[in-house]
Structure 1
Amino acid sequence: MNPADGPNWSMPAESALEWDLVYTPRWLRRACYWAAGVVIAIHLIFGLLLGISYTGVGVGWSDKVGLIAVGVIIACVCLLPTRARLRVGPSGVGVRNLVSERVFPWTEVQGLEYPEKGYWAQLLLPYDEHVPVMAVGARDGERAVEAMTAFRDLQGRYAPHE
């Protein structure tokens, strides 16, 4: 895409095949897996125990399966943040948060920084635009700092120098 076409400067993710840095969060993944497990366990237990005592309402197997299915759906939503990923290579910077990935060419990337009050890093773009990078979270500590350092090294190698 041409930057003159509008504010969306990203390219399709398939256009960049080589990546020097691929970073995924550790703490966020663990927290999401734990939360999904708790949600499934609660819905499974309540689904199986739903018809133990008679309350005046007929509870069938379809009700039990429905409650468990709702738990599975909620657990799947809890797992969406595990998709977060940062990829850096000669073609640019790929940022995947919850649903889709966007690849920004080096001509549009100005840097990666932590905001003063934020949970994850931001990819800086022209015209005071930024994209949150959920993969590089503050909870990962030293590991996130190493990812930021690696990003800056690769930015120095690939970004056009003015």
Structure 2
Amino acid sequence: MRLALFQPDIAPNLGAAIRLTACLGIGLDVIEPCGFPLSDKTLKRASLDYGDKCDWQRHDSFAAFAASAERRNSRIVLIETEGSTRLTDFVFEPSDILMLGRETEGTPPDVIAACHTCVRIPMAAGLRSLNVVTAGAIALTEAMRQTGRWAALD
């Protein structure tokens, strides 16, 4: 199981995702371009002391990410506010990649179409969205519960 950030706009969100995935023992994919310079200095500032504890990979584009050998046997499960399936109704698999859309613009239609499915986290009526890393944490919690991955921690 992995978490993927599609063209993240906000460096502190990348830092929070690095910390989240490091603590949960989950890999992270960063799909560029980012809305900030993805430099060693930016990463160090954003990830604090978790950067070297995270199994993360950067990809030049969505096409490069989707075509990578490691992804060929994985489903890309997009977590998006407009998802057709409720998070708790979706059946996760251990090899799934949970992908989060861009903070400011969401996910373009061609990328949505390339994903296996689009899942939404139910929210109170009239509210727009969760913070992207908060959404990732909620989705990972459910996916890890369903696949028994919590047993591997502690």
> Structures share a fold, TM > 0.5?
no
TM-score (norm 1): 0.26
Pair member with larger Rg? 1
TM-score normalized with structure 2 length: 0.27
